[in-house]
Structure 1
């Protein structure tokens, strides 16, 4: 079976158009960390950390955006010609991750928790800062985007070259 991969410029154009369309239709910038905060707020009802401002809104469009991400992935997998199955195959990251599936799952969950905490601390996720804030030329978002990419670059170098 032949796999079709989008060209990088076409994928970038599609993401840029989505950001504009999202803002035009909803009136708010794209991003899903607020939706993540809403989910955490529902789970951790007694933590004031998650109950500020937009995190109180139970009908927040970003919550639905967050829910749509795994649903879209599931629909894509179900529509694929290849049979869908669970896999912890992480490609090149298998070199640096634990080998058991349970240990990989723990690392991935821990990484997701750190991502959510960092997004809350930074005021937005990588999508919110780098794509939306960058498109709006927001100086803090531009700085955050540079920090995100430099951190990813440095971590990749540390993981695979030492």
Structure 2
């Protein structure tokens, strides 16, 4: 346990990161496709006409919550906290969806897959969303919201 981060779960984070990396590598090596969740979700729902085969996209999108559910059963779950109102979550989801379309991908596509391929677009996108996250946390802490 890390003193500065009493709720940190470094072993679980390492295992999760390895699993994400393996899934991304299998998708790239096996299908020649990027394992970006927004692209796969768009393909699975029929919003996008190109990308991974639709059945693969559907399996991937179904596997995300199913895998999390199975891990929670095996480990006893993870404590989550949500805001008292669903409005911020809905607005945040809409903003993320808009951002993934404008940014030609999501954090998983750019941060995991694009960075590993040294894509200039992904390096730029990852730097921007990381900086945005740092600034948001700093503002929330400064404003006493965290």
TM-score scaled to structure 1, two decimals? 0.68
- Call closer, same or farther: CA 1:110–1:58 in 2, change over 3 Å: farther
Distance across 1 between alignment mates of 2:53 and 2:32: 17
**1:33 alignment partner in structure 2:** 38
- Call closer, same or farther: CA 1:75–1:13 in 2, change over 3 Å: closer
1:77 aligns with 2:58: no
Deviation at 1:131, TM superposition (A): 1.2
Distance across 2 between alignment mates of 1:12 and 1:73: 13
**Contact in 1 for aligned 2:28/2:34 (Cα 8 Å):** yes
Higher RCO (CA 8 Å, separation ≥ 6 residues): 1
Distance across 2 between alignment mates of 1:78 and 1:19: 24
1:95-110 paired onto structure 2 within 5 Å: 97=83, 100=84, 103=85, 105-110=86-91
1:146-161 paired onto structure 2 within 5 Å: 146-161=127-142
Deviation at 1:135, TM superposition (A): 0.8
1:21-100 paired onto structure 2 within 5 Å: 21-38=26-43, 41=46, 50=47, 52-54=48-50, 59=54, 61-80=56-75, 82=76, 89-90=81-82, 97=83, 100=84
**Contact in 2 for aligned 1:35/1:64 (Cα 8 Å):** no
Larger Rg over CA atoms = 1
How many residues are treated as equivalent by the alignment? 136
Unaligned runs of 5+ in 1: 42-49, 91-96
**Contact in 1 for aligned 2:36/2:106 (Cα 8 Å):** yes
1:20 aligns with 2:25: yes
- Call closer, same or farther: CA 1:153–1:65 in 2, change over 3 Å: same
Deviant stretches of 4+, over 6 Å: none
- Call closer, same or farther: CA 1:76–1:12 in 2, change over 3 Å: closer
C-alpha root-mean-square deviation of aligned residues, in Å? Answer: 3.0
